[in-house]
Amino acid sequence: MKSAFIFPGQGSQAVGMLQGAGEHWPIIAKTFEEASNVLGYDLWHLCQNGPAEELNQTMVTQPALLTASVALWRQWKVSGGVSPAFVAGHSLGEYSALVAAESLDFIEAVKLVRLRGELMQQAVPVGEGKMAAILGLDDSDVIAACETAAQGDVVSAVNFNAPGQVVIAGSAAAVDRAIEACKEKGARKAMPLAVSVPSHCALMKGAAEELAEALNDVRFNDAVIPVVQNVHAKAETVADTLKANLLKQLYSPVLWTDSVRLLVNEGVSSAVECGPGKVLAGLIKRIDRSLTVYGMDEPEALAAAKDALGQG
């Protein structure tokens, strides 16, 4: 039976995340301590106590979720869990997947995602960019609505999360026009998201150019587990390819629906969501119910996941 580990991105964070895991597994505290030493502040304390406004800042959220996911992955390995056939991450989660696949060093990843968050926040002044969730339309209708609404500005479909669930991003005025265009096409819901950064659209190309300079100094290894990457929904193992696609990801759509379908086509029947929350499990139910998703952010959940994967 083939399995995959999937790593969540922004939106899965919450004050108090991994509290139960931290009480039972020493490796959680150790991993957060490593990250805190790099960041210069107590990341575990912030994750447990907030305030939520600070945790939700992009340049804090990114290292927090990366560290949470890597801590859980380490616990999986020390508890005797076997390696999956594939790993994949949603947006930011791709960095966690690369650490799990031993392509990217954890400390280097912490530095990179902090910088990634800072560059994303700097790329578009607060209030000038926007994202919105579009529910109940075909992908092609959302893409067409964005093309109609652009009118010289940037707006595009950036997260293909599940059938009938697409996120758009771009300049605020163009996103507002696209919301109305999607409603006219019959969208069940078209609503702005509470984020300040328009991720994965052309407005992030400047941030990508600066991130490229940092990536040049980071060593990537060939992956020991194939990584399904966001930009093309294909499994890769070659270091240079993984690195190039990771950079392109910053201004390219996240093809999550296609990534999940690839896993299913490759014979994966079980997936473990390696991070806080159940966001990816919810999306996968909408993509393909034949793929069963387990959590592992609590001791009971990890035990259930190991049982399901025949390792209990």
Which positions are annotated as active-site residues?
A: 91, 200
Residue 262 main-chain phi, psi, to 5 deg:
-60, -45
DSSP state, 79? T
**How far is residue 70 from each of residues 91, 108, 110, 111, 192, measured CA to CA in Å?**
15, 13, 10, 14, 30
| Torsion angle, alpha carbons of 160, 254, 259, 84, to 10 | -130
H helical segments located in the chain: 19-24, 26-39, 43-49, 52-55, 58-78, 93-100, 106-123, 139-150, 172-184, 205-216, 239-248, 256-265, 279-287, 299-308
122 with 207: CB under 8 angstroms? yes
Beta partners for residue 132, in sequence order: 168, 192
**CA–CA separation, 17 and 52 (whole Å):** 11
H/E element holding 51? none
67 with 109: CB under 8 angstroms? no
Select from 181, 55, 195 the least CA-distant residue to 129: 195
**CA–CA separation, 6 and 1 (whole Å):** 16
**CA–CA separation, 210 and 103 (whole Å):** 21
Q: What is the DSSP string of 170-199?
A: EEHHHHHHHHHHHHHTT-SEEEE-S-SS-T
**CA–CA separation, 6 and 292 (whole Å):** 12
